[in-house]
């Protein structure tokens, strides 16, 4: 990457008192210029705790929105605001209200992959790093869990005493991973451990050695004595895994497990966003206030993996 591009970003970052946050699925060249790279939960904590006036959020829209909700004193900008999440778009307030009316009294757990409006209508938020711990923390047996049916099914499998009411949402990138991919990868790398994300299908999570968030995978690999790993999630995480563990080997379970939305942010767009302070991600105060409650309740629980 051109040195001058990085230098310009660094100069502007200082001038604007900005930090760059990036998700583990971002392009390598974006991860390399970020001040913090992590999973959805880590990014929420970083957004709240990092001392800065501006957050340049390199991820997808719901993540930047979550940062804006929990850091109302900071300006959050996205280098490309078109980075959405199809799963987050699979539920809206009208659908959620219908589910609530069909299960009166059941608390709502919303995956962080939702809009601020949905968070505002929920009791507590969760990420893949704490979905089981969040549902377990509720006294109720019946719990509405939205929008990811696969994360919901995985959470249900870990909590047989609960009854989760699920919605038909899913991640198109993770839904593309099938049991055949795991079987083929195991044949090719018989000594490797298989790590998969809980957004994967139940037939896939059933074949894994561990089911973890992206942050959980990074922790697991660092502590593990194994030398080889088959990775069942978006391929971008292989870069962080390899960078942090140069002596170990990583094999993506499918080359097709790529989230197009996570790839549209580039260093050039980061520079332009800092130059023009665009695009600001703002949430109306009334919605932000209610959504903040659901996110803060989750942050108090922390991680399970």
Residues of this chain that bind ligand SF4 (CB under 6 A): 60, 85-87, 113, 171-174, 199, 234, 259, 261-262
197-226 residues near ligand 13P, rule: CB under 6 A: 199, 213-214
DSSP 1: -
Work out whether 130 is an interface residue with ligand 13P (CB under 6 A): no
Is there a contact between 265 and 27 (Cβ–Cβ < 8 Å)?
Answer: yes
> Please, which residues have CB within 8 angstroms of residue 81's CB and are 6 or more apart in sequence?
61, 279, 281
Minimum CB–partner distance for residue 173 and ligand 13P (Å): 7
By a kind-dependent CB cut-off of 5 to 8 A, residue 39 interacts, out of ligand 13P, ligand SF4, none, with ligand 13P
Find, among 188, 232, 178, 225, the residue nearest to 210 by Cα. Answer: 232
Query: Is 84 in a helix, a strand, or coil?
Result: coil
In the structure, how many helices (H) and strands (E) does the chain have? 15, 12
Closest to ligand SF4 by CB, 13 vs 174, is: 174
Closest to ligand 13P by CB, 24 vs 156, is: 24
Q: What is the C-alpha separation between 215 and 224, in angstroms, rounded?
A: 14
Q: Which of 18, 24, 111, 145 binds ligand 13P (CB under 6 A)?
A: 24
Helical spans, DSSP H, in 208-279: 214-223, 237-244, 267-276
Which residue in this structure is represented by tokens 């880590």?
42
Judged by CB under 6 A, which stretch of 33-41, 134-142, 281-289, 297-305 contacts ligand 13P?
33-41
By a kind-dependent CB cut-off of 5 to 8 A, residue 261 interacts, out of ligand SF4, ligand 13P, none, with ligand SF4
Minimum CB–partner distance for residue 55 and ligand SF4 (Å): 18
Closest to ligand 13P by CB, 12 vs 129, is: 129
Closest to ligand SF4 by CB, 87 vs 196, is: 87
Judged by CB under 6 A, which stretch of 124-132, 143-151, 218-226, 274-282 contacts ligand 13P?
124-132
> Please, which residues have CB within 8 angstroms of residue 189's CB and are 6 or more apart in sequence?
228, 230, 251
């Amino acid at each position: 990457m051109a040195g001058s591009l990085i230098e310009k970003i660094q100069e502007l970052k200082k001038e604007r008192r900005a930090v760059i946050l990036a998700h583990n699925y971002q392009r390598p060249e974006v991860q390399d210029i970020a001040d913090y790279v992590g999973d959805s939960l880590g990014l929420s904590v970083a957004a709240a705790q990092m001392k800065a006036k501006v957050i340049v959020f390199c991820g997808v829209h719901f993540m930047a929105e979550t940062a804006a909700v929990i850091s109302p004193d900071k300006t959050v900008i996205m280098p490309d605001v078109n980075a959405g999440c199809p799963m987050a778009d699979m539920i809206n307030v009208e659908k959620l209200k219908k589910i609530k009316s069909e299960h009166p009294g059941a608390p709502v757990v919303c995956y962080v992959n939702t809009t601020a409006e949905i968070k505002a209508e929920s009791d507590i938020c969760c990420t893949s790093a704490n979905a089981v711990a969040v549902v377990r923390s509720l006294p109720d047996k019946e719990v509405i869990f939205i929008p990811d049916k696969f994360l919901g099914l995985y959470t249900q499998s870990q909590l047989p005493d609960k009854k989760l009411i699920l919605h038909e949402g899913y991640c198109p990138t993770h839904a593309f991973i099938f049991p055949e991919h795991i079987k083929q990868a195991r044949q090719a790398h018989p000594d490797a451990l298989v790590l998969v994300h809980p957004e994967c299908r139940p037939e896939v999570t059933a074949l894994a050695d561990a089911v973890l968030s992206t942050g959980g995978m990074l922790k697991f690999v660092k502590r593990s004595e194994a030398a080889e790993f088959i990775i069942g999630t978006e391929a971008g995480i292989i870069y962080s895994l390899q960078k942090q563990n140069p002596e170990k080997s990583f094999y993506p379970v499918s080359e097709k497990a790529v989230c197009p939305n996570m790839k549209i942010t580039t260093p050039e767009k980061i520079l332009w966003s800092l130059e023009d302070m665009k695009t600001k991600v703002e949430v109306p105060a009334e919605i932000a206030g209610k959504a903040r409650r659901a996110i803060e309740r989750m942050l108090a629980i922390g991680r399970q993996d």
